[in-house]
Amino acid sequence: MAPSTLPLDAAVTGTTIAASFILLGNAITQSFMGVPALLVDFPRPSSPEHSAAAKHLGRQWPIFWHMGNIFFRPISTLGIFGYAYAAYAAHSRAASLLGSNSTETARALGLADWRVFAISAACHLVTVIHSALNMQPLNNKIDGLKDVKASGVDESLAEYWARRWIKLNGVRMVMPFVAGSLALSQVVRAAR
């Protein structure tokens, strides 16, 4: 008996779903544990300890930033392509089995709907764009706290920027959750 192999579309889809939930877990960890831990007992801007605390935050920030840039941004980017491939594979499978007007018939037969995978890809695209347009400027400001003279950032806003970062990171929780959940619903649907 020949060993069974996992079809490429199933492997790509499963891996991409797992990546979505890895991204969700990372965003939860950063927003609810990591960054709040950096802000414990953070002094008010009027405090004599504020400047040192802001500089310390700036020195700690590259750990979060580095992980996002080196590890999680590529995963989110690959999510775009993984779900796009899943959408293509689902559409191709339905078209090959059913011919024209395959989308509605595929849904009636319980096959995966390519449009749902396309939405999942769009969710990852939103995450990448949001990270570049909204999170990157905050990362630059927080990172600049380690040397306010060179960066020209206002250190009195250190805690505000970190809390703003937490709030905006919510998009990076919601989008992977939606992407992974939608895609998983299609995999379950097709497996029935």
What is residue 93's predicted lDDT score, i.e. its pLDDT?
81
In the structure encoding, which two tokens stand for residue 114, read together? Answer: 């390519």
- Which of 118, 134, 120, 121 shows the shortest CA–CA distance to 170? 134
Task: Compute, in degrees rounded to 10, the torsion defined by CA atoms 13, 27, 167, 164.
Answer: -130
Interval 117-152: pLDDT, tens:
999 999 999 999 999 999 999 999 999 999 999 999
What is residue 95's predicted lDDT score, i.e. its pLDDT?
76
Domain-wise residue ranges, the chain: 8-39+49-191
Q: Which residues of the chain have pLDDT under 70?
A: 1-6, 98-111
What is residue 4's predicted lDDT score, i.e. its pLDDT?
54
What is residue 1's predicted lDDT score, i.e. its pLDDT?
46
What is residue 183's predicted lDDT score, i.e. its pLDDT?
96
Work out the widest C-alpha separation in the chain, in whole angstroms. Answer: 75
Residues whose CB is less than 8 angstroms from the CB of residue 162 and which lie 6 or more positions away in sequence, other chains included = 35, 38, 39, 42, 57, 142
* Tally of CB atoms within 10 A around 55: 16
What is residue 24's predicted lDDT score, i.e. its pLDDT?
96
